[in-house]
Amino acid sequence: MDFKYKSQLTAFDRVILCTTVLIFPAGYVIFPLGLVIALIRVFSTHFHRSCKGRNHRLLGWAFTLTYLVTMFIFLITYDEFGPAEAAESIANAVVYGAFLLLPAFIFFSLIGPSDRNFNRLLSQYHWLVMERGITSVRQIALETRQSPIPAERDLNFMINHRMLPLGVIENGMLKFMPGSYPFEQQAEASEEAHPQPDIGNHENPDMQGPRALECPGCGVRVVVAPHEQKECEYCGNVIICA
């Protein structure tokens, strides 16, 4: 499944950008405060992969607006605007552009790659969980070559945004609401298709059909016949069907 998640600025981000362009009538300039708040917000949230694209967008606009306000302040400080003032304005525009517009351009150019990388990970997570039946966060992290903690954050993001069935992560395992996970439905269908016969009110385990058992190591559903053992192809744990 291909995801097309696109990061967007939140209402709080727009408030930060508004503080970037605020100038008091008395001449006290507070616009640098917006850039500082934007940097603090980025440093406090950038470890979330879902926030990277949004943070790049926020910093791009913060640096751009700071540059525009800076140029406006230089213009209104001139009593008259002659050739000398024009030359000074151009010099200021070039210098401040190197410090503010160049970083803004870099941040804007990082938005697309950040969103694409995150969407690629979302697709991999979805395929591992919904197609392969892996519910172990550690195993999912190994399959996607990620660390378990960032992988767990991404999976929580997918659950909260309805990209995965409703559920929680407990003890490193994904646990979904009953009936919402296709592998659970397949296991139930398998058990219904191979019911245990009742002969004289005594259970005969030899006549049971294959069962879908959950691997204790990685959470994958493995089909095992009665009185047989099977090695999990993902983590190597041996699963025994009594």
pLDDT in tens, 48-74: 999 999 999 999 999 999 888 888 877
Asked if the model's pLDDT at residue 210 lies above 80, the reply is no
Burial letters 53-66, b for 16+ CB under 10 A, else e:
bbbbbbbbbbbbbb
pLDDT in tens, 154-173: 999 998 888 888 888 888 99
Q: Rounded mean pLDDT of 211-218?
A: 71
φ and ψ at residue 102, rounded to 5 degrees: -65, -50
Going from N- to C-terminal start, the domains of the chain cover: 11-111, 134-176, 182-197+204-240
Higher pLDDT, 89 or 9: 9
Q: How far apart are CA 34 and CA 15, in angstroms?
A: 9
**How many CB atoms within 10 Å of residue 44?**
11
Residue 223 DSSP SS3? strand
Asked if the model's pLDDT at residue 102 lies above 80, the reply is yes
